[in-house]
A and B are shown apart, each in its own frame.
Chain A
Amino acid sequence: MLTTNQDRVNALLIPIFSILLGFIFGAVLMLFFGYNPILAYQAMLMGVFNSPYFMGEALRQATVLTFAGLGFAIAFKAGFFNIGVAGQLLAGWVAAIWVALSLPDLPRVLLLTLSIGAAVIAGAIWAGIAGALRAYFGTSEVIVTIMLNYTALHLTNYIIRNVLATGNTTERVGENASLRVEWLAQLTQNSRVNMGLFMAIIVVILYWVFMTQMTAGFEVRAVGLNPDASTYAGMSAKRNIILSMLISGGLAGMGGAIHGLGTFGNIFTQSGLPSVGFNGIAVALLGLGNPIGIFFSSILFGVLDVGAGFMPNRAGVPDEMADIVIAAIIFFVGANYIIRLLLNKIKLNKTVEEGGE
């Protein structure tokens, strides 16, 4: 019992320590280059929290990050490293816009369902390819999803230029395909935070129910923990690999739909893969695979992402600083062995002191 309690404490302490160490690392780096870290962090946080508009924008970013993070997390639970979240998100984005532009006159509920459904399917297929290749040929999903990322990037740009538009940007989707919620936008001084936020909260709950209350979710976790034992217990490892990758890609695709229909209202050619896909991986790792942890990590990274925009003007610090802090945080989450070691040492000293009394 004692150990489980300890694990629960660690599960909270590790992300918190990682975040602290990540920010400290960023501060040291800024000091080294002659910037003022306090000014920079202040600019970042005040920029977001002093303005309803930028708080809305941070939540808008957190929405998409939540989907990307949950998508990565479910595959990770099953033992797979889906680096293709960015590509699957892009596939979902283009599919949603494609449907929304092709059927502009449908009623809103139907059109949104169809567009988001298409995005989910597109993302699921894109990830499912990697899942199927892994299940039937043992091909590394890490490399396959990375290659599919670049394939998605070039294909999407091709579709935009040759099918959806004549230039590099498509037309905007109609009112009935927009995820904009009037009162929410009013509340945040016309920020782009949208219906996706509520969808994200619902999906977080569904994800939790699926993973902890349903047999299918249990099988996914079991296969991730010990594929041999699960196979022996009669679960199909192949089926679970493909299932978890389909859900993973579907969630990423849904994030793409929200990016398209909520944030931008269109799609444009990309010079690189959307960074929100890779930050989704970071969010999932920081949240330690827990859906609620992922949601809060997404909000933190949403604030970092949007707040970073204030650093160049107000503190003279390049906004890449936020990405460096994010990478540093994930470094410490990954290397949590040293944090555990540190915590154990502190505890050991305590017990020694207590024993001495």
Chain B
Amino acid sequence: MSITSLLQLIVSSSLIYAAPLIFTAIGGTFSERSGVVNIGLEGIMVMGAFSAAIFNLTFYSTFGNMTPWLGLLAGGFIGILFSLIHAVATIHFRADHIVSGTVINLAAPAIAVFLTRAIYGAAQTGPLGRSFGRSNIFLLHRIPVIGPIFFRNTSGPAYLGILVAIIAWVIMFKTRFGLRLRSVGENPHAAETLGINVYLMKYAGVMISGFLGGIGGAIQAQAIANEFGILTIAGQGFISLAAMIFGKWNPLGAMGAAIFFGFAQSLARIGNYIPIIQDIPGIWLQILPYLLTIIILVSVVGRSVAPKEIGKTFIKSK
């Protein structure tokens, strides 16, 4: 295999596995910046994957090749609805954020498989109508050397994710909404004194995480699993959460970390083609993403500071 095609393989598979993580990790930054811990991202991804799969199978004859892209919206929409459970529980019902997140993670696979059985009579949907496949990125793929490595035969959703990361960064750090969102996570009482609607901001944060987490799940179903079943989402939500911490609660950082974790996940699939790595036993490559997550958390956690009032219930003053 030539160097170019080897690099092409590494980059494209990393991006394919990174795409769901990019969206979900960015979603996580919005929720946590508003002060709501969201370990329910895993469950939200499950619902996103499920609804995208249903959408895909129902409408592929109508929408053709646009189906998976529209499926992202379906996943995102159901993600918002599902995240509302977490928002209501933590914001209005004063539930512990981790307990509520655990409920989301317990409920999502049960509900999704329940509905899959109710609709298809089986626990899996079977192969989807149209999956993402690989695409060339508009014009960029014609650039010599760089084009073929980075932009040819690659993951469309991942590049959309990179674009979303940039937009998310602008929203979070350059707009009034972003400033308000962050102030609610750092010091809700001061924010309230300044006339900011703390509850509204927290709802916005959680719902954005629901939208992006749902899209993340939709990508996992339509680009990687090509079906929906109980094993479609297996830890990606949690890895996204780790990527968010590694990225210091910053959308761009979260995106970078997500691509790195995507690379780690892809190694178990493409390791056989890469010199040196092909000599490592498969089991190490399988557990690598999880071990790397732990090692990275241990090494960055001192320098990575969470929003100050994260995980605490805010009680509105009368």
Contacts and interface: CB of A to CB of B under 8 A. Distances in A.
A320 B114 CA distance: 5
A39 B283 CA distance: 47
A343 interface: no
A144 B235 CA distance: 12
A318 B301 contact: no
Interface size class of B (residues with CB under 8 A): 35 or more
Contacts of A334: 89, 93, 95-96, 99-100, 103
A83 B104 CA distance: 14
Interface in A278-323: 278, 281-282, 285, 318, 320-321, 323
Contact of B242 (A147, A151, A282, A337): A147
B106 interface: yes
Given A148-B290, A150-B235, 4 more contacts: A155-B287, A320-B111, A321-B114, A334-B95
Given A138-B301, A271-B231, A331-B89, A147 B291 contact: yes
Contact of B294 (A148, A155, A158, A328): A148
Interface core residue of A281, A318, A327, A338 (most chain B CB under 10 Å): A327
Contacts of B293: 143, 147
A357 B94 CA distance: 36
Interface in B162-191: none
Interface string B275-318: 00000000100110011011001100110000000000000000
A137 interface: yes
B102 interface: yes
Given A137-B298, A138-B301, A337 B94 contact: yes
A126 to B, nearest CB: 12
A12 B277 CA distance: 57
Nearest to B106: A327
Contacts of A147: 235, 238, 242, 290-291, 293-294
B274 interface: no
A336 B103 CA distance: 13
B301 A331 contact: no
A189 B302 CA distance: 57
A331 B100 CA distance: 6
B296 to A, nearest CB: 10
Given A331-B103, A334-B95, A146 B298 contact: no
Contacts of B230: 272
27 contacts: A81-B98, A83-B39, A133-B294, A138-B301, A143-B238, A143-B294, A144-B297, A147-B290, A149-B235, A150-B234, A150-B290, A155-B287, A158-B283, A272-B230, A281-B102, A282-B106, A320-B111, A320-B114, A320-B117, A324-B114, A326-B106, A330-B102, A331-B85, A331-B100, A334-B96, A335-B94, A338-B93
